[in-house]
Copies of this chain bind each other. A is one copy, B any other.
Amino acid sequence: MYLQYFFLFSILLAASDALVQDFCVADLSLPPGPAGYPCKKPSKVTADDFAYHGLAAAGNTTNIISAAVTPAFDGQFPGVNGLGVSIARLDLAAGGVIPLHTHPGGSEILVVIEGTICAGFISSFDNVVYLKTLYKGDIMVFPQGLLHFQINSGKTPALGFVSFGTQNPGLQITDFALFKNDFPTELVAKTTFLDLAQIKKLKGVLGGTN
């Protein structure tokens, strides 16, 4: 019962000290709302809810993009629920690429830990491409919702962390949105001007249909 421990809150300061909602660790078993998940009962919260080990190991980069994104968003790391922050790990093998994508929900800061990363984003205002080559310790910011990418431009693996001003920024990879689903080829063509052959080829690679 939530009720019982809220009565505690009304005790005067001199006797105790007390107020709710310093934090709101997600209870993932309940349906979320627009602002996030309902909170786990404070009495069941422990220090473990605020730490996460899942970014310590490198992501598996033996894949088509030679890269991996390992998120610590609300779904993986319930401690960030309601706190307006999250983070993810970027592993880029030699030749690795995080393809063109957007985060609908928030801006991103990348910090390069190892290797060399060429990163860029494109403004919507005038389609300017802002490109930078980043070395160990460099940071770059990507404004909310704009198309951007990261490429390993060195010869060794690259590692970075990307953080966000939201508990879940979302991630829409343009190629996946176009070619990794049942988006009818004809509609893709009409709305992107890509050739049918090109579309079919990429649908083949990514497992799209229609």
Contacts and interface: CB of A to CB of B under 8 A. Distances in A.
B14 A21 contact: no
A181 interface: yes
Interface residues of A, number: 147
A125 B170 CA distance: 7
Contact of A141 (B83, B143, B168): B83
A28 interface: yes
Interface centre among A87, A144, A198 (most CB of B within 10 A): A144
B123 A12 contact: no
B124 A104 contact: yes
A191 B99 contact: yes
Given A12-B59, A51-B132, A76-B10, A31 B29 contact: no
A124 B171 contact: yes
